[in-house]
């Protein structure tokens, strides 16, 4: 192999392994960009290696949560670059687990790039210290929203932190299996409106599930009547609790016969295609909203965390936090957004290309770390445009 065709060995670690289609969209986008740019051998540190190998064009996958440091070290030592990310992975109590391989890479003098991550909440003193000490030693830190940069700065990270964008913004739709809409009961004459829920947890500590179930049920009933629509609940985490919480919302609706919860299992690209059949959306999960934006579907968001608020900020969308929204206020937002849906669609169409260019910048930084070269860049780098 000539020097110009050197094979670069890259490790990627994140919340991968089939738990969340948003995370799988992130990994798919990172892998696609790397393979389009350089000859690469990619190993993914995954929670479910079999799932990762089935979904993605990667060479190897390791069960990172079951291997010891001694078992992982030889795998890291052979790498040219270790990528942490993307996704919202640095938060209490998960940050320590994700930073283990970063620390090993630094010990082995393997360059580390933090790739368009989200961060927070980070409050536990030992975790803050670990984040500060580890990230101050890596080769590059990029985050996907301003709030994540603030969290890392508050933690004491002193090196430059660049705000780029979520890699999932570069996802492309994939064809749906034959007769998908018919099997899901979505082939009728009524318009379709997508809904997204999420479970409470460490990444969303302030969610009161009883309150938001009632909130979404009211909004769904209103949409059924006002828009003469059927509502479709889209589980982004089928193996966790999204299905359960979706059915809990449907159970509180007055018109549950006009609601469905997606039953099939889809790739991220297929789900992106399915979202394209919606005329409107109401959502909590970040990547459901990303998919809606990529398909130019007008939406109303329920921002439960800074990462969602950051995405809305990038789209110049003003929506109050979930905890400040009651049923009447949400219905008013839905009513207003539906009336100006063409304007929302146009605004999304104008802003998404800029966000996608910011997402590509993250890959260019990775290429510089691998090759030392500077690929062609836009005249106004995304990191400067956001400062």
In the predicted model, is pLDDT for residue 386 greater than 50? Answer: no
In three-state secondary structure terms, 283 is strand
Q: Taking the model in full, what pTM does it have?
A: 0.93
DSSP assignment string, 55-109: HS--SEEEETTTS-HHHHHHHHHT-SEEEEEEEEEESTTTHHHHHHHHHHHHHTT
Better-predicted residue by pLDDT, 23 or 238: 23
| Strand 299-301 to 60-63 pairing | unpaired
Distance CA 211, CA 231 (A): 19
Q: Is the pLDDT of residue 383 over 60?
A: no
Q: How confident is the model at residue 381 (pLDDT cuts 50, 70, 90)?
A: very low
pLDDT of residue 379: 39
Set out the domains of the chain in order of their start, with CATH numbers: 3-163 (3.40.50.2000), 180-349 (3.40.50.2000)
**How high is the pLDDT of residue 375?**
54
Q: What per-residue confidence (pLDDT) applies to 240?
A: 65
63-110 residue pLDDT tens: 988 999 999 999 999 999 999 999 999 999 899 999 999 999 999 999
For residues 164 and 161, give the distance between their C-alpha atoms in angstroms, rounded to a whole number.
Answer: 10
The per-residue pLDDT for 4 is: 55
- What is each CA distance from 307 to 90, 185, 320, 385, in whole angstroms? 12, 33, 14, 19
Q: Are the beta carbons of 313 and 289 closer than 8 angstroms? A: no
Cα–Cα distances in angstroms (integers) from residue 61 to residues 44, 54, 56, 113, 349, in the given order:
5, 10, 10, 19, 36
d(CA 18, CA 219): 30
Please indicate whether residue 64 or residue 36 has the higher confidence score (pLDDT).
36
DSSP state of 170: G
pLDDT above 60 for 132: yes
Q: How far is CA 14 from CA 20, 23, 270, 271, in A?
A: 11, 8, 22, 21
- As a whole number, mean pLDDT of residues 169-197 equals 96
Span 272-306, pLDDT tens digits: 999 999 999 999 999 999 999 999 999 999 888 88
> Mean pLDDT lowest for which of 100-104, 252-256, 282-286, 325-329?
325-329
Over the stretch 351-371, which tens digit does the pLDDT of each residue have? Answer: 999 999 999 999 999 999 999
75 contacts 89 by C-beta, under 8 angstroms: no
Are 12 and 46 contacting, i.e. CB atoms less than 8 angstroms apart? no
Strand partners, 299: 281
Question: For residue range 191-240, what is the model confidence (pLDDT) as tens digits?
Answer: 999 999 987 765 555 667 778 899 999 999 999 999 999 999 999 987 66
pLDDT of residue 374: 65
The reported pLDDT for the residue numbered 202 is: 54
Task: Read off φ and ψ for residue 379, nearest 5 degrees.
Answer: -60, -35
């Amino acid at each position: 192999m000539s020097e110009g065709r050197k094979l670069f060995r890259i490790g990627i670690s994140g919340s991968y392994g089939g738990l969340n289609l948003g995370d799988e969209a992130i990994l798919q986008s990172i892998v696609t960009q790397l393979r389009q740019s350089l000859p690469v051998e990619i190993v993914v540190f995954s929670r479910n290696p079999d799932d990762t190998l089935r979904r993605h064009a990667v060479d190897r996958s390791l069960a990172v949560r079951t291997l010891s440091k001694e078992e992982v070290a030889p795998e890291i030592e052979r790498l040219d670059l270790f990528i942490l990310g993307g996704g919202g992975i640095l938060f209490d109590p998960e940050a320590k687990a994700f930073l283990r391989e970063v620390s090993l890479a630094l010990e082995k003098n393997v360059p580390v790039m933090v790739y368009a991550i989200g961060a927070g909440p980070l409050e536990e003193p030992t975790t803050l210290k670990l984040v500060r000490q580890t990230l101050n030693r890596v080769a590059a830190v990029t985050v996907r929203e301003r709030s994540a940069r603030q969290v890392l700065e508050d933690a004491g990270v002193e090196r430059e932190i660049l705000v780029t964008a979520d890699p999932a913004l570069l996802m492309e739709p994939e064809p749906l299996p034959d007769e998908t809409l018919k099997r899901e009961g979505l082939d009728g004459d009524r318009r379709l409106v997508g809904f997204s829920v999420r479970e409470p947890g460490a990444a969303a500590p302030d969610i009161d599930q009883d309150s938001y179930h009632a909130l979404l049920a009211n909004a769904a009933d209103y949409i059924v009547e006002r828009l003469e629509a059927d509502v479709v609940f889209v589980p982004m985490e089928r193996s966790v609790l999204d299905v359960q919480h979706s059915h809990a919302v449907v159970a509180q609706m007055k018109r549950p016969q006009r609601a469905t919860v997606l039953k099939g299992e889809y790739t991220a690209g297929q789900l992106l295609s399915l979202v394209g059949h919606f005329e409107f959306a109401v959502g909590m999960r970040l990547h459901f909203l990303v998919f809606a934006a990529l398909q130019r579907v007008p939406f109303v968001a329920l921002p439960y965390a800074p990462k969602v608020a950051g995405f809305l900020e990038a789209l110049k969308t003003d929506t109050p936090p979930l905890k400040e929204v009651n049923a009447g206020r949400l219905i008013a937002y839905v009513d207003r957004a539906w009336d100006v849906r063409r304007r929302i669609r146009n605004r999304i169409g104008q802003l998404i290309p800029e966000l996608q260019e910011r997402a590509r910048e993250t890959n260019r930084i990775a290429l510089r770390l691998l090759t030392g070269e500077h690929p062609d860049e836009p005249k106004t780098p995304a990191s400067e445009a956001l400062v």
